[in-house]
Structure formats: C-alpha cells, structure tokens
C-alpha cells in the first residue's frame, strides 16, 4: 500500500518503527513528488530497503525539534530545500520576501537563513558525532569557497560551516546510495572518501583518490579577485563526469577535496527513479494550513530529461545537474502521463513535458559521450558548434504518442524552449508541431538582452537568432491560423551591461513593439560564472575587466528602461536618458522613449551630449562605471 514517508513519531509507530535508518532534514515542506529533491532521495533510499523518516522545516530555535523522530540508526542527510535558502528569503534587491511557495500556506519564515548550515549545526548539537551528510542545491552551489551576495564577501565551503562529514553535489541519488551502503556496512564516515559527486575535508591533499587539480586557497581567493576568478573557472570546467578531475582547495590547515562528478543516471536508472511510488501531493498534515503552493506548477507536469548544455553563465544548472543530457524512455513517460489521467483533479491538460531545457533529449554531439564537453567552449553561444546534433525527432515522437493517450486533451510545453537550438533543426517538423499543438496562448523564451557583448557575457546567442526565431514563429502561427504570443524573458543589470546598453535594449523593445510585464534583475547566486564577474569585475574566461552595475540606483535605472512606458517609471527614464546623454530619445518621433518634460518637471542629471555608444557619457571605459552626479552608491547592493 502506498503511503507518505513518515514525518512524525506517530506515523513511524503506525509502521511499527521504533527507529529509522536514515533521517532526512529539509528546509521545504514535504511534498511527495519527483520535482522535489527530498522526495526523490527519500524514495530512492526506501526503494533500497532502508527505513526513512523526514524532518521537514524543524524549528531551528528549539534543539528538541531535531530529536522528535529519535536518533537514526546510521546517519542524517540534510538539505536546505529545492532552492538556496537565501534566494528563497530575499529578492534581488535584498528585500525580505513575504511568501514562500515551498512552505505550508505560502508562509515565509519557516526555515532559517542559510538553512543547511543551521540544521547541520543543530544536529551536531543534539546527536554529536553521528554521520552527517549535507546535499541539495544550496550545498552543491556552495561546495567551494564562494562569493556570497548577501554578505558581500567570500565565504568558505559550506562543508566547513555546516560541520558535516560529507557534502554531496549534483543530482545525488547514486552518491547517496553508495554512502548509505557503506555506513550500513560499518565503514566509518571519515573513511568514505572515494565516492564521486562528494566533497570531504582532509589534513593533506595526498588523501585525494582521483587525478586532481589544486586551486587557490580560501584565504587567497577571499583577498585576491583575480585568484578567485581563476579558481572559479577551474571549478566550473572540472564539473564534467567524463573528463573532470577532483578539485582541491586549502582552507586554513585543512583541504577541501571535491571528488569528480558522479556519472548521470542512465535512461533505465532515470526511469526507475521517476517511477518510484510518489503520491505526487503534499503531505496531508499541511491541508489545514493551506497546502503547499509549489505543487500547483508541477502536479500535472512531467520531467523527461536532466542536464543542460545551454551553459548560460548566470544559471546554476551547469554547476549542479551538469551539462550532460539524460532523458527518460518513451515508455516511462507514457506510463506517468497515463497515471495522471486517473488523478481525480485531472482535467485533460498536461501542463508541461519538460525539464531544465524542454527540447534537449540527446547529447549535444557524439564526442560528448566519449570525451566530455569541450573546455572553454560552449555548444550554442555565441554561435552553434558545427558538431551540434539538433535532431528533435525523438522528442517529436514522444509528444505525438502522449497526445494519443485517452483522456489527454492537450500537452503543453512551458519549461523553456532553447530557441537557437530549435533553429538548428533544419527539418522544421518539431517547430510546426510546437506551434500547432503545444502552446497555451503564449510561448516564453529567453533572449535576455539585445546587445552583443552583454549576451557574450551571459553565454547567450546574439539577438539575430531570436529575431529569426520570432519571424518564423509568426509565420507558422499565420499558417496554422493561430493567435499565439511570444513572450521574451529579459534581464537587467547583468555584468557587462552599461546604462547605454540598457537604453539600447529599451530602443530594441520600442522598435519591436514590446513592453515586458516582468523584468528579472541579475541575481548573483553562488558558484556561477556571472556571479564571479559581479564580484571580481573580471570575466573568468578571458581574465579581462568587465563593467558591473552594482549601485542600487543604477540597477533601478536599468530596470526602469525596460519598462519605459509605465508612467511611474517616467522620472527614472528621464534621469537615465539625461545621464547617458541620450536626450535625442525625448521627443515625439516614433523612436523616442519619452515625450518632452511636463511643466515643472526636473529631470536628474545634465541634458545634451553625444548619443551613448558614440563617445557620450553612457559609454564607460572598460571596467569603469559611467560618470554621474548625485548620491554615492553604497557598496554591493539579484
């Protein structure tokens, strides 16, 4: 009989359990769905025959909350939740969020800041030297010495602050099972040093059991930004399960040893994990509290792949799931969708058949399987690699099979189409099916910006690829009698973007007749190359200086420019245009962003000057901020 994993002592006793083998502690509410890491690890351990209990969002201020389920027999696994706890708590402007979709009733404040560290320290307090393993996205992205946006400083590896014995990174099913088997066998946790996809602390670099490379110490990268950038690039490049080496980083008199990445699950293994007996719902204990909102986006969605070779520099996927693609079999996905049609709440619509990037179902090229992904080279940007295999036929066949399942009215794709990859598929068959069958009114894609050097910093294709995609999308909609919109995701204030670049993006939007409802400010999340650029002012790929918008006010100006038609943004737009010397964009022409000043309106900054990009004030020297008057921006300010 299917049931939730126990989250209380009473539920354990109903199973006639007086102890559990492994305790999972998480910063999220317990949702038994394969989109939630805790559920996956819990079900994987259960499937291996272990007794697993879940301690979800314990009160970190009360040590007794951590003993509520008793001392586990073999060890404790900890994660901060599906997303980094600091991102869960704070906006890009560092303002406290008022809600939390991963908590009951959307209630904020049920987990602490830096949840993984706090939970691990409490477990050490109540259980002493019990084997303690920390994992999940928060630990994965913070496994090395890393820049922390919220403190505006470099912090040491989370392994040390958490006082954990091991840190698992990436998708941790294989590593977790290997660690669990060794602990049950009686292996002391300090001797578990040969598991790929894990990190541990050692007294000497000689403890490493794999080919390795050493990067600058925590103490060095904390003080030297060039050393930080060089170390970050090595850490990023070695995250490859085929050719990756262990990375060693000194921390004081100890050494962080990050073993090479674990190989991704095979198709058969991924099928098995996806089809474990998830109940696909939040635990009923949350019903009276308003449920867990995060389930609504995924309840009738299916994940068909893992990994992303898109390699956007601001995205954490490359540093967590990695760039190698694994996809589920057609039969497995069909079984899952067929089961969803029996759900009492199912109304005929599968909201998504996607993953990190929906239209990736195969390796980027044949060489990847044998040699790993290329060092210092991306598969898609700035232009697609000649070796790229952009065949969509397998995904197309899968979607056509799913459309034929009785009870299914519509299959949507919402989790992100990589448009430049789609354009490389010369058959056009998938694009036609996408427009005809799989769009729910609008398709969201991510050009992010329109200026070449900003897109280069992001690891995105130049805007011509998006414009070509947009044109073909419109033609296909006309051909098939559809009235479906294309919604571009855009990002403001990414490293490399000057005020002049933000104005150029506003001009591009004006020319295309777009006014985005939402704009994402760049958010420096731990571990990414874009965050490295933000912190160091260097592009780690070239070690050249890169301009970084950091002051809250400049970020406000860049963000406002992307929504220049909003009346409440007028003063900011006026200030930005004067500051950049672009008063030519204030007028009545179709290219203008603002009408002339209203009576008594006093725009900030000086008017006149050459247009930005042609020697005007909006064109800073490399690595330098544009000159401006007004308040002095504070240090640090996604």
DSSP string, 133-195: EEEHHHHHHTSSSEEETTTTEEEPPHHHHHT-SEEE-SS-HHHHHHHHHHHHHT--GGG----
Q: Residue 536's pLDDT is what?
A: 98
Q: Residue 625's pLDDT is what?
A: 41
Q: Residue 614's pLDDT is what?
A: 37
Closest CA to 376 of 520, 541, 513, 249: 541
Q: Residue 624's pLDDT is what?
A: 43
CA distance 581 to 606: 8
User: Mean pLDDT across the stretch 589-594?
Assistant: 93
Q: Residue 367's pLDDT is what?
A: 86
**For residues 148 and 161, is the Cβ–Cβ distance under 8 A?**
no
**For residues 16 and 63, is the Cβ–Cβ distance under 8 A?**
no
Query: Tokens 């519509």 label which residue?
Result: 410
The alpha carbon of residue 549 and the mean position of all alpha carbons in its chain are separated, in whole angstroms, by: 22
Domain ranges across the chain: 9-196, 451-638
User: Of 592 and 608, which is predicted with more confidence?
Assistant: 592
CA distances from 375 to 118, 140, 142, 243, 378 (A): 36, 21, 22, 10, 8
Cα angle: 533, vertex 539, 543; to 5 degrees: 130
Helix (H, G, I), strand (E, B) or coil at 256: strand
Q: Residue 636's pLDDT is what?
A: 34
Q: What is the DSSP string of 284-336?
A: GGGGGGT--GGGGGTTTEEE-EE--S---TT-SHHHHT-S--EE--HHHHHHH
Size of the chain in residues: 638
Q: What is the dihedral of CA 232, 235, 237, 243, to 10 degrees?
A: 170
Q: What is the pLDDT of residues 208-233, one digit of tens each?
A: 999 999 999 999 999 999 999 999 99
User: Of 372 and 145, which is predicted with more confidence?
Assistant: 145
> 608 pLDDT band (50/70/90 cuts)?
very low
For the question of whether the overall pTM of this predicted structure is more than 0.85, the answer is: yes
Q: Residue 379's pLDDT is what?
A: 92
Q: Residue 637's pLDDT is what?
A: 29
- Number of CB atoms found within 10 A of residue 328's CB: 27
Helix (H, G, I), strand (E, B) or coil at 533: helix
What are the tokens at 365? 């090229």
The pLDDT mean for the chain works out to: 92
User: Mean pLDDT across the stretch 307-311?
Assistant: 89
CA distances from 402 to 68, 348, 431 (A): 44, 12, 17
**For residues 337 and 405, is the Cβ–Cβ distance under 8 A?**
yes
Asked whether residue 623 carries a pLDDT value surpassing 50, the answer given is no
Phi/psi of residue 107, each to 5°?
-85, 130
Asked whether residue 115 carries a pLDDT value surpassing 70, the answer given is yes
Report whether CATH 3.40.50.300 matches the domain 9-196: no
Asked whether residue 628 carries a pLDDT value surpassing 50, the answer given is no
Q: What is the pLDDT of residues 83-108, one digit of tens each?
A: 999 999 999 999 999 999 999 999 99
> 416 pLDDT band (50/70/90 cuts)?
confident
Asked whether residue 79 carries a pLDDT value surpassing 90, the answer given is yes
User: Mean pLDDT across the stretch 406-427?
Assistant: 93
Q: Residue 598's pLDDT is what?
A: 66
What are the tokens at 180? 């669990």
**Which of 34-43, 144-153, 351-360, 624-633 is predicted with the least confidence, judged by mean pLDDT?**
624-633
Q: Residue 619's pLDDT is what?
A: 42
């Amino acid at each position: 009989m299917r049931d939730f994993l126990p989250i209380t002592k009473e539920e354990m006793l109903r199973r006639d359990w007086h102890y559990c083998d492994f305790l999972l502690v998480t910063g999220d509410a317990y949702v038994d769905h394969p989109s939630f890491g805790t559920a996956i690890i819990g079900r994987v351990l259960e499937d291996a025959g272990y007794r697993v209990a879940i301690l979800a969002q314990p009160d970190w201020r009360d040590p007794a909350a951590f003993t509520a389920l008793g001392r586990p027999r073999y060890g404790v696994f900890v994660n901060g939740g599906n997303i980094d706890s600091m991102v869960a708590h704070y906006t890009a402007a560092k303002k406290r969020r008022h809600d939390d979709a991963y908590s009951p009733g959307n209630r904020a404040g049920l987990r602490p800041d830096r949840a993984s560290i706090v939970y691990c320290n409490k477990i050490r307090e109540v259980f002493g030297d019990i084997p303690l393993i920390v994992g999940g996205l928060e630990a994965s992205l913070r496994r090395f010495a890393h820049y922390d946006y919220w403190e505006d400083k470099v912090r040491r590896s989370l392994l040390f602050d958490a006082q954990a014995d091991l840190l698992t990174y990436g998708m941790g099913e294989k590593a977790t099972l290997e660690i669990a088997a060794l602990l049950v066998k009686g292996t002391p946790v300090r001797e578990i040093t040969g598991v790929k996809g894990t990190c541990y602390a050692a007294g000497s670099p000689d403890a490493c059991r794999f080919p390795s490379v050493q990067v600058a110490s925590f103490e060095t990268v904390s003080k030297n930004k060039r050393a930080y950038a060089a170390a970050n690039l090595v850490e990023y490049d070695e995250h490859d399960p085929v050719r990756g080496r262990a990375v060693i980083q000194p921390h004081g008199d100890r050494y962080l040893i990050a073993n090479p990445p674990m190989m991704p699950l095979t198709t058969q293994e991924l099928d098995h994990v996806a089809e474990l007996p998830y109940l696909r719902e939040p635990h009923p204990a949350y019903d009276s509290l308003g449920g867990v909102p995060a389930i609504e986006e995924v309840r009738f969605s299916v994940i068909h792949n893992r990994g992303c070779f898109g390699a956007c520099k601001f995205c954490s996927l490359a540093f967590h799931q990695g760039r190698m693609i694994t996809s589920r079999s057609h039969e497995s996905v069909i079984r899952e969708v067929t089961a969803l049609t029996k759900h009492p709440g199912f109304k005929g619509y599968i909201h998504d058949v996607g993953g990190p990037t929906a239209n990736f179902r195969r390796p980027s090229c044949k060489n990847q399987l044998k040699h790993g992904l290329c060092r210092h080279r991306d598969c898609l940007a700035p232009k697609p690699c000649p070796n790229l295999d952009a065949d969509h036929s397998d995904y197309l066949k899968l979607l056509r099979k799913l459309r034929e399942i009785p009870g299914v009215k519509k299959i949507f794709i919402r989790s992100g189409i990589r448009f430049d990859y789609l354009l490389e598929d010369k058959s056009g068959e998938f694009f036609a099916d996408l427009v005809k069958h799989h769009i729910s009114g609008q398709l969201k894609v991510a050009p992010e910006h329109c200026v070449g050097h900003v897109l280069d910093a992001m690891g995105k294709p130049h805007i011509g690829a998006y414009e070509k995609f947009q044109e073909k999308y419109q033609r296909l909609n006309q051909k098939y009698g559809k009235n479906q919109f294309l919604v571009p995701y855009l990002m403001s204030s990414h490293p490399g973007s000057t005020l002049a670049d933000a104005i150029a993006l506003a001009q591009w939007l004006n020319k295309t007749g777009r006014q985005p409802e939402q704009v994402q400010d760049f958010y420096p999340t731990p571990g990414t190359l874009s965050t490295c650029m933000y912190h160091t002012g260097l592009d780690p790929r070239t070690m050249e200086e890169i301009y970084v918008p950091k002051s809250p006010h400049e970020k406000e100006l860049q963000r406002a420019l992307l929504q220049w038609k909003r009346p409440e943004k007028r003063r900011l737009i006026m200030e930005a245009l004067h500051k950049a010397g672009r008063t030519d964009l204030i007028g009545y022409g179709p290219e203008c962003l603002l009408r002339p000043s209203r009576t008594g309106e006093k725009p900030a900054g000086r008017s006149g000057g050459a247009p930005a990009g042609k020697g005007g004030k909006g064109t800073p020297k490399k690595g330098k901020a544009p000159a401006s008057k007004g308040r002095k921006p504070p240090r640090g300010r996604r």
